[in-house]
Structure 1
Amino acid sequence: MKNKGRLCSIALASVFLIFVFLILISAAASAAQVTKIGTGYDPAVYGNKVVWTNGVVIHLYDLTNKTDTTVSSSGASCPDIYDNKLVWRDESSGRPRLAVYDIPTATKSYITRNVDQYSKPAIYGNRVVWSANESVYLRDISKSKQTKIGSGSNPDIYDTKVVYYSYSEDPNADMAIRMYDLKTKKKITVTSSGDPNIPRIWGNKVIWADVYNHQGYIAMYDISTKKTVDVTHQLDTDPSGNEYGASTGTHIDIQDEKIVYNKCVDDYEGKPGVYVYNISTGKSTLVYKYPEDVYTTPEIYDNIVVWGIDKNYVDSADDNDIYLCNLVD
């Protein structure tokens, strides 16, 4: 009895120590890596700069100096950044337009033609792409030249290639991800499988969310090899017979060998939160854990991941903080 009591005490102490150890590991993984840098929505990152909006002004945060500069622009949303240029949708005048802001000179100009209340700009170099009224537009801001390049929505741009969602251009597909090459003036269908949307491009990789149900899953196409692989799981059944997977398609981004995404349910595939997927290894890592049904908007550049709460899935401004994680810290 004496030995049994001692063994029970040792077992309980071991369990307690393991429990405390796991808590410390979890706390360290979150606290050591993640920093709150502001409050608002729609963060984007490029180099050492992060941009976001709180609906009244645009915030520009310098990661090197840890300074937050504001740009006056009421009615701002959906900002993007490339080098020293910012773009965002601006409705301060009472009608939708796109603002283009040059950081060194602090000068602002507007794109007013073919813009609607759903236009979300993306920028690469001097080129800005967006969609309005089911058409995709490109503007070279260095030449003030604007053209319609396709019929669709949700465009993204990398160098001379633009990807977008379309349901009318490919006669063999009801829904497709299309890619337009600015050099060759040619288009191809990247995928017409399932219900693909929210395409993103970097280098020779195109990713998208197949949003057919359960918030969708993420797939990737390699332009050079012409092969498609699943990044996250399609809808499946775990060993206990419960559905899992296809809960990762609400917000995605790609840069070099990394993909970031939001997961919003707790299932066999993993916990809800912000994830980074390594293309080379095919492995996903949980960066920051959230409760179920919390939707975030992760974006990535180099080893910096930024995110906020997706305002499309909240009814109030509670907990709309902007967070940053340096993956090498």
Structure 2
Amino acid sequence: MKSRLFSISLVLMFLILISTVASAEKYTKIGNGSEPAIDDGKVAWTNNGVIHVYDLTTKKETTVNSSSASHPAISDNKLVWHDDSSEAPRLTVYDIKTGTRSHITKDVDNSSVPAIYGSRIVWSADSYIYVRDISTSTQTKIAAGNNPDIYANRVSYDSYSAEDTPQIYVYDINTKEAIDVSQYGDNMFSHIYRDKVIWSDFYTRLGNIRMYDITTGKQTEITSGDDKTGYDTGGPADISGNKVVYLKHNDLANMDLGDLYVYDIDTGESKQLTSGNTAQTPVIAGNVIVWSDSGSIYMLNY
């Protein structure tokens, strides 16, 4: 009997060891810091005001000289971040290949968080949305609103409707027209990818995630929750391809922390990826998910 129990114990220890190794291989720490941003092939983040860039192909990390950088965004070989190193707030634009940089100072305030796609950068200042084409050095105020994101010629953002309720809008740079893609009110923190827009709905709960398909006009409730079943994202979420990553919170003590989930648009199912309620700011590009946790940057090939 003792021999049998000993054998069972060895098997259990072996399975636990395998599980631990598999978990270690599944999640990879790629650096220290916070506020990760991702584009195909590269991850950027900040650590004590310095920008770090990690190449997913070479697995090499480089730093970009900066002293007070926050909220980095990346597209191909272009980086942009909010810069507080001078007397006035500005956005710094950096070319990864050439090492050259330039600054955007017009219509930038302390809360301006940039997003970038190709040569276009979007941000908000004093509750207005701005678009700058860095290839032509042209800058345009497109709408009243906050928290913009950009994909191709479309910009998503939150703004107040004629009925004075916050809604999510999508502005077409080519047609110069905007459409309301949300409903209810208290909608914030939108992200856009191709013809899909996601945002956090604070109207019924703290951060229920909704998605709108611009092509079909269909709206989907990605997450659900209430005081009894648990809170949802509250803001940190991202979308790429047919996947949405988001945080689910266990309490209201810190709405920036949670467990990481991924939602499959095709199947309509969510899967939990982390536990411990310590993940922050998840981002996704293709099959690569990146997030911060307790001062570290982690990556998962999903």
Give TM-score, length-normalised by structure 2: 0.90
Aligned to 1:283: 269
Matching residue within 260, 263, 284 for 1:274: 260
Deviation at 1:284, TM superposition (A): 1.2
- Higher Rg of the two aligned structures: 1
**Deviation string, structure 1 residues 240-289 (Cα, Å, up to 9, x no partner):** xxx014322330000110111112218xxxxx521111110111122222
Aligned to 1:308: 292
1:216 aligns with 2:191: no
CA distance in 1, matches of 2:30, 2:203: 34
Aligned to 1:313: none
Matching residue within 170, 178, 181 for 1:179: 170
Deviation at 1:194, TM superposition (A): 3.6
Superposed counterparts of 1:62-141, under 5 Å: 62-141=55-134
Q: Give the partner amino acid of 1:43.
A: P
Superposed counterparts of 1:220-299, under 5 Å: 220-235=211-226, 243-265=228-250, 272-289=258-275, 291-292=276-277, 294-299=278-283
CA distance in 1, matches of 2:75, 2:54: 14
CA distance in 2, matches of 1:185, 1:277: 32
Q: Secondary structure at the match of 1:296?
A: strand
1:325 aligns with 2:300: yes
Pair 208,22 (structure 1): closer, same or farther in 2 beyond 3 Å: farther
CA distance in 2, matches of 1:101, 1:228: 37
Q: Secondary structure at the match of 2:281?
A: coil
Runs of at least 5 residues in structure 2 that lack an aligned partner in the other structure: 252-257
Aligned to 2:255: none
Give TM-score, length-normalised by structure 1: 0.83
Pair 203,53 (structure 1): closer, same or farther in 2 beyond 3 Å: same
**Deviation string, structure 1 residues 113-153 (Cα, Å, up to 9, x no partner):** 11111111000011000001111100001111001111110
Alignment RMSD, CA only? 2.5
CA contact (8 A) 1:30 1:287 kept: no
Deviation at 1:95, TM superposition (A): 2.1
Aligned to 1:57: 50
Deviation at 1:215, TM superposition (A): 3.8
- Structure 1 window deviating more from structure 2 (19-28 vs 91-100): it is 19-28
Give 4+ residue runs of structure 1 displaced > 4 Å after superposition.
16-26
Pair 26,252 (structure 1): closer, same or farther in 2 beyond 3 Å: farther
Runs of at least 5 residues in structure 1 that lack an aligned partner in the other structure: 1-5, 237-242, 267-271, 310-318
Q: Secondary structure at the match of 1:262?
A: strand
CA distance in 2, matches of 1:47, 1:205: 18
CA contact (8 A) 1:47 1:301 kept: yes
Aligned residues: 296
Q: Give the partner amino acid of 2:283.
A: E
CA distance in 1, matches of 2:222, 2:15: 28
Pair 17,234 (structure 1): closer, same or farther in 2 beyond 3 Å: farther
Q: Give the partner amino acid of 2:36.
A: P
Deviation at 1:85, TM superposition (A): 0.4
Deviation at 1:234, TM superposition (A): 3.6
